[in-house]
């Protein structure tokens, strides 16, 4: 379950970072398009349904489609804080 919490915290941070870049409304709306994620109105991940790594990859892909390299650069520092989370392709 600890690993689950790390993924929830990591994805929440990703959403927070994108809220600064895209604005909170767009960032949360786009995150809610990832069917595995349950996200509250503040952008906090409250549940991940199914494969955590797949959910993480999907949300990264959604944001990269919108902003490209800006997202990749912004997220690199977040991932460094979670060494126990299996790496994904940015």
Q: How far is CA 67 from CA 1, 8, 10, 48, in A?
A: 32, 22, 19, 24
CB-CB neighbours of 75 under 10 Å: 20
pLDDT in tens, 22-69: 899 999 999 999 999 999 999 999 999 999 999 999 999 999 888 777
Three-state DSSP at 55 gives: helix
Task: Give the model's pLDDT for residue 3.
Answer: 86
Predicted TM-score of the model (pTM): 0.79
Task: Give the model's pLDDT for residue 21.
Answer: 86
């Amino acid at each position: 379950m600890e690993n689950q919490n790390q993924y929830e915290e990591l994805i929440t941070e990703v959403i927070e970072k994108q809220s600064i870049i895209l604005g909170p409304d767009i960032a949360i709306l786009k995150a809610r398009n990832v069917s595995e994620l349950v996200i509250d109105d503040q952008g906090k991940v409250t549940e991940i349904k199914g494969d955590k790594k797949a959910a993480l990859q999907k949300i990264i892909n959604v944001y990269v489609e919108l902003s490209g390299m800006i997202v990749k650069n912004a997220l690199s520092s977040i991932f460094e804080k979670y060494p126990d989370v299996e790496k994904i392709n940015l």
